[in-house]
A and B are shown apart, each in its own frame.
Chain A
């Protein structure tokens, strides 16, 4: 036992088990382990892709082979054996021919268990869901309602078949395969994901959401999401994810690209809850993703809101390239790490247009032996007159075995810009804890309460149904972090 009573309070955390750690027993179609041009050709063939897409993959792969896994982040990321991973796994279709709409009941049950109902009748709220298991999309709901408004929302593979021109026009335009090591990897082997296109002047009538589930063992997940909001369009998009509890680490290397044309607005919200590994730091998902939005048109706006509670390792910097004049980029983030989790996350705001504005609010919460870092870049180009940025990075520490770090980078090429940065680091105070306890609130509930209050500014940015989920998740992630 620790002799300092303060440390005692803050050392008994982390006992709650991961709720989504089950495995679905379903027949799965795999490609052989390993990565080479033949595997890529095989994946492309299984997905019945056009030649140009195969070419895109092969170019990316050849480029990837010239790259080395990056090691600049404050992460203890082991050398990954990329030949020891399966790059494609899909739940096998049942033998008898089913109606097009019908989904394997086992899969429906899986998503039900995850709290994601794919039954449109049962779903009351205005949310359309694309459910992705391992490398393929299981089902996309509310397609009809959406298509009435001209909104395209479907799995990426389906979009390649039905809207090849649109996909080809935008794919890789925001995150080129040359962007970084993991982007090149994803571009070579990406499996499924979601594609959204909101036509001119349309305000998407439903919230769109994709739910990613890793099920198969020894498999990587490499999804690709592409969201395009045409002139004057608006969409709110949400992404959720979970994975079974396994002793070995699993690789997740996704790409999300967003394009907002003139006067368009995209709100992107994520609650990231990949399996974080056990209390000793065994297992868990390596979440190495590239997410970027391009505010291409004037007065366009992209906002990222993320609640990061899962994954053993997180490497992720959702950013905005503010190209259009008067365009706006926002980044709101809560990242919680517990046990032996490591997170190096933040954002990039690249101001290119005149009168562009960006806001960054980052709340890091570290417990256990975890490491939690914010890494942010604000760059103002020479031509970006009157650019403004406000950044606020707060870190909250629970206990004294965890670490919080902040690396804000600023590159300012225009004197007329105004950049503000505020940063705080605090510990959850023993006074606050005792105040709650004295009102009859047990320690763990008290911590949940205080942490949710601390993250309030960001949680408020989430769509309603996500916010409730996120609040619960924050409390659960920290359960056992104090005793």
Chain B
């Protein structure tokens, strides 16, 4: 199993948000996580990626055969965990090209490889940009600065393509996207998807799942996964809303 979360309890500032969550993800799978606002979906993403301030009070997160609780966020990233942020952050003055180059070479350093040559890097940038249909030159664009909501999300998928993760968590990557952008993002994900990697897709809308077809759909409520099903569960939720979930 690629990711195996056992009885995870997470508190923020002393307040318990995740209350005994279990989730298993195998290589090659796509999992969708749905659920009402404020039930802890982004908190789960933060806990998996090792964000400071998210205190794990109980439980384990097993990834590639290691319990990664306590591992630094950058090491987790370099072990192949990627998060497409719900709210991508602006970094003024830092070009996307420089940012990606630093990221790619940090990973290579972690793996004991020499830095990538400029030529090779430029070639890779071009390829991956094409994948998500970003045509502009990125050496002069600062990370997320002046981007529309949709552009920011496309940029996240571009970064994912550059870093080729084993486990990608997409936190509401579909919100704010127009139909064309949604298709582009989904296409990017599907191209990257292989038998060796897995995707955890957090979303509020069935629409995305028409393009990225999940093997499992989980419903989160009050810090736990309360229901798991196939992709038809998403349709059912779309139809009935979340009220009935709360009674489970």
- Let me know if A453 and B94 touch, CB within 8 A: yes
A432 to B49, CA, bound (A): 15
Count chain B residues whose beta carbon lies closer than 8 angstroms to a beta carbon of A: 29
Interface members, chain B 45-60 (any A CB < 8 Å): 49, 51-53
Q: Is B93's beta carbon under 8 Å from chain A? A: yes
Are the C-beta atoms of A438 and B99 separated by less than 8 Å? no
Residues of chain A with a CB closer than 8 A to B77's CB: 437-440
| B107 near A435: Cβ-Cβ < 8 Å | no
In the bound complex, CA of A452 to CA of B72 (Å): 23
Are A429 and B74 CB-contacts (below 8 A) given A5-B53, A8-B52, A440-B163? no
Q: How far is the CB of B51 from chain A (nearest CB, A)?
A: 6
List of A residues within 8 angstroms of B78 by Cβ: 440
The listed residue (A9, A429, A456) touching B52 by CB distance below 8 A is A9
**Contact indicator B91/A432 (Cβ below 8 Å):** yes
Task: List, in ascending order, chain A residues with CB within 8 A of B106's CB.
Answer: 439-442, 445
Question: Are A453 and B52 neighbours in the complex by a CB distance under 8 Å?
Answer: no
The reply to whether A449 and B89 form a contact with Cβ atoms under 8 Å apart is no
Give the residue of B51, B74, B91, B110 whose beta carbon is less than 8 angstroms from that of A450.
B91
Q: Is B85 an interface residue (CB 8 A)?
A: yes
**Does B74 contact A449, Cβ atoms closer than 8 Å?**
no
Are the CB atoms of B98 and A449 closer together than 8 Å? yes
- Contact in complex: A452, B93 (CB < 8 Å): yes
Q: How far is the CA of A449 from the CA of B106 in the complex (A)?
A: 13
Within 8 A of B (CB), among A64-89: none
How far is A376 from B91 in the complex, measured between Cα atoms in Å?
A: 28
The docked-state distance in angstroms from the alpha carbon of A469 to that of B152 is 32
Give the complex CA separation of A6 and B103 in angstroms: 23
**Contact pick for B74, options A9, A432, A442, A453, CB 8 Å:** A442
A-chain residues with CB within 8 Å of residue B91 when the two chains form the complex: 432, 435-436, 449-450, 453
Which residues of chain A have C-beta atoms less than 8 A from B82's C-beta?
438
In the bound complex, residues from chain B placing their C-beta under 8 Å from that of A441 are 74, 102-103, 106
How would residues 137 to 160 of chain B score, 1 for a CB under 8 Å from any chain A CB and 0 otherwise? 000001000000000000000010
**Docked complex Cα distance between A435 and B91 (Å):** 9
Decide yes or no whether A443 CB sits under 8 A from chain B: yes
Q: Does B32 contact A (CB under 8 A)?
A: no
Question: Hey, which chain B residues are within 8 Å of A429, CB to CB?
Answer: 89
| Contact status A445-B102, CB under 8 Å | yes
A435:B52 contact, CB within 8 angstroms: no
- A399-455 with Cβ < 8 A to chain B: 429-432, 434-443, 445, 449-450, 452-455
A54 to B103, CA, bound (A): 59
A457 within 8 Å of B (CB atoms): yes
Bound CA–CA A431/B110 (angstroms)? 23
- The answer to whether B52 and A439 touch across the interface, beta carbons within 8 angstroms, is no
The answer to whether residues A455 and B93 also contact, given A434-B73, A437-B77, A440-B163 and a CB cut-off of 8 A, is: yes
CA distance A6 to B98 in the complex (A): 26
State A6–B163 Cα separation when bound (angstroms): 27
Bound CA span A443–B110, Å: 14
Find out whether the CB atom of B103 lies under 8 angstroms from the CB atom of A439: yes
Q: How far is the CA of A431 from the CA of B99 in the complex (A)?
A: 15
Residues of chain A within 8 A (CB-CB) of B74 are 437-438, 440-443
Query: Which positions 100-159 of chain B face chain A at CB distance < 8 Å?
Result: 102-103, 106-107, 110, 142, 159
Interface check B176, CB cutoff 8 A: no
CB proximity of B227 to chain A, nearest CB, Å: 29
Across-interface contacts of A8 in B (CB, < 8 A): 52
Q: In the complex, what distance in Å separates the CA atom of A452 from the CA atom of B99?
A: 12
Are B49 and A438 within 8 A (Cβ)?
yes
- Asked whether B99 lies within 8 Å of A449 as measured between CB atoms, the reply is yes
A454 surroundings in chain B (CB, below 8 A): 92-93
* Complex: A431 Cα to B42 Cα, angstroms: 14
Nearest-neighbor residue (CB-CB) of A454 within chain B: B93
CA distance A434 to B102 in the complex (A): 15
| Chain A: CB-nearest residue to B73 | A437
Of B90, B93, B107, the residue contacting A440 (CB under 8 A) is B107
Given A5-B53, A430-B52, A449-B94, check contact A435 B110 (CB 8 Å).
no
State whether A438 and B73 are in contact (beta carbons under 8 Å apart), knowing that A9-B52, A430-B52, A445-B102 are contacts in the complex. Answer: yes
A439: contacting residue among B53, B93, B98, B99, CB under 8 A? B99
A–B complex contacts, Cβ < 8 Å, 6 sampled: A434-B73, A438-B77, A439-B106, A440-B103, A441-B74, A441-B106
B interface vs A, CB < 8 Å? 49, 51-53, 72-74, 77-78, 82-83, 85, 88-94, 98-99, 102-103, 106-107, 110, 142, 159, 163
Other contacts beyond A439-B77, A439-B103: 15, CB < 8 A: A5-B53, A6-B52, A431-B89, A434-B89, A435-B88, A437-B73, A438-B77, A438-B83, A440-B78, A440-B106, A445-B102, A449-B91, A453-B93, A454-B93, A456-B92
